[in-house]
Structure 1
Amino acid sequence: MTDATPPAGFGRPDLTAFARLDGLGLSVIGQRLEPDRAVLACRVVEPDQWCRRCGSEGAARDTAIRRLAHEPLGWRPTVLEVVVRRYRCADCGHVWRQDPSAAAEPRAKLS
């Protein structure tokens, strides 16, 4: 029987790399398999907590879910549910969301 450790060419399973989301700035934090599709819960890797108006640090306020169609994993269509954080600046009150544009352009439905 062959050895399945990293020196033999195997490593820990990594769904982020398997689904090729690391190049999109996303990280998989969960999965759900439904009869007709696979759903991957993702988060944006890069923080975006600095205010675009005044440059002060914002505080995380809440999150929004953005759904994107992704290339199928196997025979199942795959949907990405991307958690996008919203921030609020303590100094000027400006509210903004994390930038998920590496995964999809604004208002796009496909990753």
Structure 2
Amino acid sequence: MSTTVADLDEPSVVPELTAFQLRILTILSEEARYGLAIKRELEAYYDSEVNHGRLYPNLDDLVEMGLVEKSELDKRTNEYALTENGHDAIITQLSWVFSQFVTDDSRAQEIKDLVNAVQ
């Protein structure tokens, strides 16, 4: 059974997240990373520079929402990791996207093919 925004016990923050914040969560779903590694992944996605003034406030917001956990690697470097709530937020977003996109068997097969391609 899929998870939707309405399935969660508490009101979801997912509808309030920006596309940029969802991309950060998606990057962190692979593994915990420090800020500059997240920045590099975003720059590869956007094919342009991501300003520190955009990245770190968004990371702080995600930490405040409980979707990301921040820990200190050393005195100058913080590591960011996806929390269980962050994982649930990604699943909620994917469930909503799929519910809008999968309108017939052909589109369902496209999603299956995408999943199989990355496994």
TM-score after normalising by structure 2: 0.23
Rg comparison, structure with higher value: 1
TM-score (norm 1): 0.24
Q: Relative to total residues, which structure has the larger helix share, 1 or 2? A: 2
Between 1 and 2, higher relative CO (CA 8 Å, sep ≥ 6) is seen in: 2
